Amino acid sequence: MLFRYRMNKLEIFLAHPGGPFWVNRNVGAWTIPKGTVNAGEDFLAAACREFEEETGIRPAGPYLPLGSIRQKAGKTVHAWAWEGNADPRLAKSNYMKLEWPRRSGRWLTFPEVDRCDWFAAESAKAYILSSQSELIDRLEALLQRSKAV
């Protein structure tokens, strides 16, 4: 999860999923860039690889561990945060093949992420998938603790 401070306010970089299922969805549809862990791959290495594949942005530590969450569909997401900056207009995603409509036998190609943007932390909690909003809470708690030290 990429974050930055702008005018002393925490902002989170989120990705909007590509493909026809997500095209008209906005609130509650955005996500942190994430993906699948390959066999034998370290979770942090997978998170960095997936972030770069879905945004074209190479993550750079230090990384703050945010733990894992379980999404509604059952997928477990292991997450780390890192501070940096990026122009969302320059984000470039890899592509996926998808049968659309389902069971039609018609396979189409779509970007995994169709756009990215920065959100104030509170707004990000509304736009992100509900199961991932806890990751923003964890980041805020970590950052608060580091300020108190």
Domain boundaries, the chain: 2-148
Tell me the per-residue pLDDT of 7-30, one tens digit each, with 9 for 90 and over. 999 999 999 999 998 999 999 999
Tell me the per-residue pLDDT of 84-123, one tens digit each, with 9 for 90 and over. 999 999 999 999 998 988 899 999 999 999 999 999 999 9
Report the chain's C-alpha Rg in angstroms: 16
Cα distance between residue 84 and residue 146, in whole Å: 17
* CATH of segment(s) 2-148: 3.90.79.10
